[in-house]
Amino acid sequence: MLHINNLIYRIGGRTLFEGANLHVPLGQKLGLVGQNGTGKTTLFRLILDGASLDGGKLKLRKGISIGTVAQEAPSGKKTLTEYVLEADKERAQLLSRATTATEPQDIANIHTRLADINAETAPARAARILAGLGFSELEQKRPCSEFSGGWRMRVALAATLFASPDLLLLDEPTNHLDLEASLWLENYLMSWRGTLIVISHDRTLLNTVVTDIVHLENLKLTRYSGGYDKFEQVRRERNDLHSKLRSKQQAQRQHIEKFIKRFRYKASKAKQAQSRLKLLEKLGPIASVVEERSVTFGFPNPDSLSSPLIAVDNAAAGYPNTLVLRNLNLRIDMDDRIALIGANGNGKSTLIKLLAGQLKPSSGKLVKSPKLKIGYFAQHQSEELIPTETPYQHLTKLMPLVVESKIRAHLARFGFAAEKAEVKSADLSGGEKARLLFAIISMKAPHLLLLDEPTNHLDVDARESLVQALNAYEGAVILVSHDAHLIELVCDQLWEVKNASCTSFDGSLGDYRNVLIEQPRISRSKCTQNSSASKGNRKDIRREKAQQRATTAALRKAIREKEREIEHLIAERTILETHLGNPKVYQGSTKELMKLQLRYGDIKSELKKIENIWVKMNETLEIAD
């Protein structure tokens, strides 16, 4: 499908690829990872445009179609459905020819080809993709121009998926999606049969969708089998081995140099010294391993505060002439870790603004602890940063009475040490601006962090650092995020925002994923019901289904409980792997290291045991259904 041989490419005097090699067979799904600015998006451009290279070859199989999401969001008077259907260019051309063709043979060939490409089912397929990305049936009939830029980018993604190219190139496809659309896309790509290369910082997508990880590092492309977790583990082991070899070589070199220095001018040892000099010259250096790790985060812990931090009693909230939420009865305590779930437009951001104090309840009560301090991270808050001011200047304005050393120490928690604290915000990357916002909102050690899509501009390592920082933080956390990995490792409660209210979701994120996958099937079954069926028949069907659910309810509940146990064990295993991958652990207490290793072994055996039980339960459920 794609061959990259000894690729060399430079841009603006900077080398991005030097002797890079990659082979992508038909049907493979690859995740392309690497630090920001290393050339991942440039590689996509080279594949798409066939730009002239400085060396090497980039070959694509002849006649293949390549799909990628357009840089510009679609606009104009075309409806969403029309725009998506036009992405299948062959179908559009055949339909156009069908209206003008006059020769019987030509007409027959056109209709035969339309049947071969399943043209009749195209509108249904387009509707399914648009629905999966969050567009209702009515919205699919509206013009593209009526939607915001973020929603129109979803339409562009829908068109690319509908075209079903031979090679699909996706660059951060979940950036404009909410959790529900991200989970749908993940499931869609898992079952997609084409060849895929995806650039993503979404760890869940990289673990579930791709078959291999391709790491862009040191101007080379290195392939690792498996998902992102496997890649991280193998690379960490390789780097540890590399470091040990380098230490061993350095010790050997020092020993030889010591011998030469001592004996090179003694006649009896001259020959031995000369032979060691030659050995020293042949002893090529092993380059030191440079870890591509993002900076760490560090949220200051707040003073203790009695619960509840916030109590909401039968409240409603919204905007002038628009009521978004009603019948809100909520309580937030100091140790709460809550994720808000629900489709975009249901009111998650409205609820966050209500809790942050940016909106007043239009009815009912919202009571806050008098000493409560809140840190609020908003999606578009980076636009409020002053381009000409540095991180240090931003914080000194907010905290004029705080001494310089404390401000700089706080900035250092988020990676702004020394010179970085003096860079104008206009020159900061998206990830650096996000870290500056974290520094700003946590300056006063808040009791409650409200985070609305906090990972949008963070790479995989930065997201992992955020997970660790939030787990170490002793205050309450409420977040809205499309990053399933973040939710699973940080939150232990799910609040679902839908039908103009917010209620607790009884289940795990895995349960919620299953609900989302099941909904389209239920909707389709409703559409295929005979409209003339009697009310009595529908009641009988519902009664039979209810009886069937009742007989397997206990088993389904037990399965969900096992799934929660598995998820918690996997989350704990991931955290332990991170600890055990830190070289500092091996320099500390042997007792603590043994404790970590024993717990890691226990988790692996416990996980295997529970997974076996879960498999048997599902087999029993299949027989019962």
CATH code for position 77: 3.40.50.300
Query: Is 300 domain-assigned?
Result: no
Q: How wide is the angle at C-alpha 497 spanned by C-alphas 494 and 498, nearest 5°?
A: 135
DSSP string, 129-141: HHHHTT--TTGGG
| Residue 329 identity | N
Query: Of 231, 249, 268, at which residue does a domain stop?
Result: 231
Q: Are residues 129 and 11 in the same domain?
A: yes
Beta carbons of 233 and 573 less than 8 angstroms apart: no
With respect to residue 529, please indicate whether it lies within any of the assigned structural domains. Answer: no
Residue 301 within any structural domain of the chain:
no
Determine, yes or no, domain membership for 520: no
Element (H, E) at 554: helix 535-580
213 and 241 inside one domain = no
β-strand 374-377 against 448-452: which pairing, if any? Answer: parallel
Statement to judge: residues 122 and 250 lie in one domain: no
Q: Do 405 and 504 belong to one domain?
A: yes
**Token pair in block for residue 484:** 């399933």
* One domain, residues 251 and 350: no
Q: How far apart are CA 583 and CA 598, in angstroms?
A: 18
Same domain, 263 and 317: no
Residues 332 and 243 in one domain: no
Question: Of 206, 231, 256, at which residue does a domain stop?
Answer: 231
Q: Is the domain of 76 the same as that of 189?
A: yes
Whether residue 527 lies inside any domain: the answer is no
Examine residue 569 and state whether it is found in any structural domain, yes or no. Answer: yes
β pairing state of 55-60 and 2-11: antiparallel
Global model pTM greater than 0.85:
no
Number of domains the chain contains = 4
On whether both 388 and 468 belong to a single domain, the answer is: yes
Structural domain contains residue 525: no
Please report whether residue 519 resides in a domain: no
pLDDT of residue 536: 46
Please list, in sequence order, all residues whose beta carbon lies within 8 angstroms of the beta carbon of residue 294, skipping any fewer than 6 positions away. Answer: 415, 431, 458, 459, 461, 462, 465
* pLDDT at residue 278 in the model: 58
pLDDT at residue 117, rounded to an integer = 79
Residue 188 and residue 166 share a domain: yes
Domain that holds residue 265: 232-282
Last residue of a domain, one of 197, 215, 231: 231
Residues 164-212: tens digit of each pLDDT: 899 999 999 988 888 888 889 998 999 888 899 999 988 889 999 999 9
Residue with tokens 């409703």: 526
Residues 217 and 236 in one domain: no
**One domain for residues 245 and 218:** no
**pLDDT, averaged in runs of 10, over the chain (625 residues):** 90 88 92 86 88 87 87 82 89 84 84 83 90 89 86 90 92 87 90 92 91 92 91 78 65 66 60 58 50 68 91 92 91 92 88 93 93 88 83 89 89 85 86 89 93 86 87 91 90 91 89 76 38 43 51 72 79 77 74 82 85 79 65
- Asked if 472 and 332 count as a contact pair (C-beta separation under 8 A), the reply is no
